Structure 1
Amino acid sequence: MTVLVVTGTGTEVGKTVVTAAVAAAAVAAGRTVAVLKAAQTGVGPAEPGDAAEVARLAGAVTAAECARYPEPLAPATAARRAGLAPVRAADVVERAQKLAAEHDLVLVEGAGGLLVRFDEEGANLADVAVLLRAPVLLVASAGLGTLNTTELTARELRAREVELLGVVIGSWPSAPDLAMRCNVSDLPVVAGAPLLGAVPEGVGALAPADFRSAAGSWLATRLDGVWEAEGFRAGLEGA
């Protein structure tokens, strides 16, 4: 796996922090890592974006963007309103391939969910995954409603014959409710892919050194971590 596409079931599900955790675990495992933000919205020209935040938390990571737009909207809408050229799927693919030639792992982070539009023709992150022939890591929310959005995303990936590597819960609370505890068992069923981690809420506020030292404990072996789904579920049942 040289390129891994990271998407979410929606906005504000913890996608950037999960990307940072994956990057930190890979760096700790001795791999060179780059993170590519396909389209950054909601930040000004001189402001740090999501890729920079991944690098801040994860450490020795190459950070790159394909395009950025000032308003916090879907990339196609943000580009149109700003009078700027939209990002094209082919642009993202070309940039990812160049980074892959120089790094062991490239994490391509989308904006929002899988089918958020990059341009007026409807290109999206799923198209990027198809063109790259890259697996997708899905970041899901913990609570009520996540099963529906997770299954819809998984079905779209299967329809496009894209591998869903697994699901990571992007913001796991310290006091999960009943729906959240049940979702730990149900998410891999509706996704048809394993649960590969649960990142605690609020860890993006940790000091970078603390974040890096803990990242592997939130992620499964497939993502260079030591987290185990069975043990996590058992702990919830015993709580």
Structure 2
Amino acid sequence: MTVIVVSGTGTEIGKTVVTAALSAVATASGRSVAVLKPAQTGVGPGEPGDVEEVLRLSGAAKGAELARFPEPLAPGTAARRAGLAPVRPDAVAAAARELADTHDLVLVEGAGGLLVRFDEEGGTLADAARLLGAPVLVVTPAGLGTLNSTTLTAEALRARGIEQLGVVIGSWPESPDLAERCNLADLPEAAGAPLLGAVPAGAGGLPAAEFRAAAASWLAPALGGTWDATAFAAAAGA
């Protein structure tokens, strides 16, 4: 795969850290990785955004950000309120293709969920993925409520004919509760796709060297890592 779109079932659920883990694993294997953020919201000029965080943690070759809007809102709303031009799906697809010409892997990290609006016409990350013909990796929370949002995201992907690579839990707690343990078995059924990893809570706060050394243990072999869903569930008491 040359391009992977990383989306989520919502916001603040670990997409950036999962993107960094994917990037770290691919970079460690000798692949050149570019990270593309179509729209960064809630970050002012000169402040580090998600792309900078992914590069810091993973050591990826290149990062690109198509637009930045200061208010922490959906990209379309943030662009309108700032009086700035929105990002459109065709521009996202074009930028990803350009990066793919010179890199082995391009990771496109969305903002919020799959169907958050980019522009006034209702363009979304799903539209960009469809234009690219790229698969989508869905990042989801571990706890109660995640099955519904994961199911809805999977249904939206299927309705658009977009491949779902699988699901990664963006923040796995040190002491999981009953719902979190049960969700290890239920998430693949809800998604209609495999569970491909679980990133521990707080991973984004690790020093970069420790993050890179551990990243493969959080992701399944399909994503270049060593994580095993069955062994993980057994260790969690699921």
Instruction: Using structure 1 for the length normalisation, give the TM-score.
Output: 0.98
Percent identical: 69
Residues 32 and 103 in structure 1, CA contact (< 8 A), matched pair in contact too: yes
- Pairing 1:146-157 to 2, within 5 Å after superposition: 146-157=146-157
Output aligned runs, 1:1-239, within 5 Å: 1-237=1-237
Deviation, 1:234, is 1.5
> Is the CA contact (8 Å cut-off) linking 2:66 and 2:87 kept in structure 1?
yes
Q: Determine helix, strand or coil for the equivalent of 1:139.
A: strand
Distance in 1 (alpha carbons) for counterparts of 2:61 and 2:230: 31
| Deviation of 1:30 (Å) | 1.1
Report the AA paired with residue 69 of structure 2: Y
Q: AA paired with 2:158?
A: R
Opposite residue 214 of structure 2, the aligned amino acid is A
| Count of residues in Structure 1 that have an aligned counterpart in Structure 2 | 238
| Deviation >2 Å, runs of 4+ | none
SS in 2 for 1:79: helix
Deviations 1:160-202 (A, max 9, x none): 1100000000000000000000000000001010000000000
State TM-score, norm by structure 2.
Answer: 0.99
Q: Residues 51 and 64 of structure 1 are in contact (CA less than 8 Å); yes or no, is this contact kept in structure 2?
A: yes
Secondary structure at the aligned position of 1:67 is classed as strand
Q: Distance in 2 between matches of 1:76 and 1:55?
A: 26
Q: Write the distance in 2 (CA, Å) between the matches of 1:91 and 1:223.
A: 26
**Structure-1 separation of matches of 2:156 and 2:29:** 32
Q: Distance in 2 between matches of 1:60 and 1:128?
A: 22
- Cα deviation per residue 1:22-64 (whole Å; 9 max; x = unaligned)? 0000111111100000100001111111011000000133110
Q: Shift of the alpha carbon at 1:147?
A: 0.1
Distance 1:43 1:236 in 2: 36
CA RMSD of aligned residues (A): 0.7
Task: Report the alpha carbon displacement of residue 237 of structure 1 after superposing the two structures with TM.
Answer: 2.5
1:170 & 1:164 partners in 2: Cα distance?
Answer: 16
Q: Given that residues 23 and 60 in structure 2 are in contact (C-alpha distance below 8 angstroms), is that contact kept between their aligned partners in structure 1?
A: no
Aligned counterparts of 1:124 and 1:139: Cα–Cα separation in 2: 17
How far apart, CA to CA, are the structure 2 residues paired with 1:58 and 1:108?
Answer: 15
2:197·2:229 contact (CA, 8 Å) conserved in 1? yes
Amino acid at match of 1:154: A
